[in-house]
A and B are shown apart, each in its own frame.
Chain A
Amino acid sequence: MSETWIHILIIVCVLLGMVTIAAGLIYVERRMLAVWQERYGPNRVGPFGIFQVMADMVKIFFKEDWIPGFVDRKVFIVAPTIIMITTLLSFAIVPFAPGIVVANLNVGILFFLAMSSLGAYTIVLAGWASNNKYSLIGGLRGAAQMISYEVFMGLSLMGVVILAGSFNMTDIVMEQKGMWNVVPQFIGFVIFFIAGLAETHRLPFDIPEAESELIAGFHSEYSGMKFGMFFVGEYLGITLVSAMTTVLFFGGWLGPSFLPPIVWFLIKMFAFILVFVLLRASLPRPRYDQLMSWGWKILLPLALLNLLVTGAIVLYNQ
């Protein structure tokens, strides 16, 4: 009985923790972007502007939630929830610390890949349901982007799976006790991180959004909390990809014992979140055909090669 309660507690903590982190990233991102652009960013509301998050949340909750008359109503309402649901579901398989994992699935990575692929529906459906040409182009680009990154994303993780001999995330972390996967799987790490950038639709790969070209792309017609869902979904995606990078390539909770495992996990995760923001601050957006050709012509062969070499070495050592 008490085990069930602990499990429920873990679920609630992960859910609330992740949503809180995602909301807090609104502040972190604005502040860090400002730091890298030699500005101050939001520093007025509360100490160091921390309560800016609260102000933003209050604002977005009280904004008019307008559904334009020309949209496909049902799909329009469902679309923003998909990204939240799929991303939050993906957190179920992330091991935050020994024992702190919602679902210790033996197909953990496959579940993550499946959920992140489903996340692409939010863009396609939102772009389609908005009945607006900019949104449709955004949705189209989202689909094009998805078919280019999804393939090498999965393949880049297979090297890790070969090394661990398991799809289970906890096993993958335990396998990295001697050496973090980033050393033998450096190419896999780079490819996965690029795919993760594309998956979260962050700059430089915010091609479906592209505010300088498509107004706001797939969420041009959204307002109020529906827009907020896309927003929080994007930050959840950042958190998820950072957490996955930590778990798969940087040893998850492993670290010197003077700090508890969960702290090591969070430190590593936030380091990657900051890398996301840094990349946003520095890199321009490629054309979407450039991303596609890059994905199919360079990253996919590279991922395959990485898989081949890793497999060969593992077989040779047996």
Chain B
Amino acid sequence: MLSSIRTVWLVFLHMFKKRVTIEYPEKKAFLAPRWRGRIVLTRDPDHNERCVACYLCAAVCPTDCISLQATEDENGRRKPEYFRINFSRCIFCGLCEDACPTYSIQLVPDFEMGEYKRQDLVYEKEDLLIDGQGKYHGYNFYRVAGVAVGVKGKGEGENESAPVDRKKLVP
């Protein structure tokens, strides 16, 4: 009985406290840098697409909202022919970002993606690809990978030793 009256009094005192509401369209909440929002495809420092179309993101996606097709350019560099994310199905879990071996696919702090037509929520590669490197700077997959696809020659990568001459006897 007394505790009920105390409850009523304490609730009444809340009248004089600061409101917790952030009045959204005028004021915006702080989104942490690693906030999981709209998905982007990033480019490497040389301004090429980072995506190597390995399908890991599509494989790990729990809602199957990523669809892509791999292709190769004249140097044998893999890239997606098309890359499509259906944001009406995406749950922004960030597993694709975790799975990506090249830091290509990244989730950025942006959630204002409302559309009037559902079809408009399907983002193609042009919509997803951004000009910058996103959250992870300086990483270029083909500079540390073994294959030569025109970015660097064989044995010229970072931390990569020169190729072994298979015809020499000396190891």
Contact = CB atoms under 8 A, between A and B. Distances in A.
A39 B4 contact: no
A40 B15 CA distance: 11
Contacts of A39: 19-21
Contacts of A38: 14, 17-21
B23 A282 contact: no
Interface string A259-280: 0000000000000000000110
B169 interface: no
Contact of B15 (A36, A279, A283): A36
A36 B19 contact: no
A40 B19 contact: yes
Closest 6 interchain pairs by CB?
Answer: A282-B11, A282-B8, A282-B7, A40-B21, A38-B20, A39-B21
Main secondary structure of the interface of B (DSSP, over half): helix
A38 B22 CA distance: 11
A167 B100 CA distance: 82
Interface of B: 4, 7-8, 10-12, 14-15, 17-21, 23
Contacts of B14: 35-38
A280 to B, nearest CB: 10
Contact of A40 (B7, B8, B23): B23
Nearest to A204: B4
A281 interface: yes
Main secondary structure of the interface of A (DSSP, over half): helix
Contacts of B17: 38
A77 to B, nearest CB: 39
Nearest to B1: A298
Contacts of B23: 40
A35 B15 contact: yes
Contacts of A40: 19, 21, 23
Interface string A276-301: 00110111000000000000000000
Contacts of A279: 8
Contacts of A283: 4, 7-8
B23 to A, nearest CB: 7
A35 B20 CA distance: 10
A281 B10 CA distance: 11
Contacts of B4: 283
A278 B11 contact: yes
B160 to A, nearest CB: 59
Nearest to A298: B1
A79 B11 CA distance: 35
A48 to B, nearest CB: 13
25 contacts: A35-B14, A35-B15, A36-B12, A36-B14, A38-B14, A38-B18, A38-B20, A38-B21, A39-B19, A39-B20, A39-B21, A40-B19, A40-B21, A278-B8, A278-B11, A278-B12, A279-B8, A281-B11, A282-B7, A282-B10, A282-B11, A282-B12, A283-B4, A283-B7, A283-B8
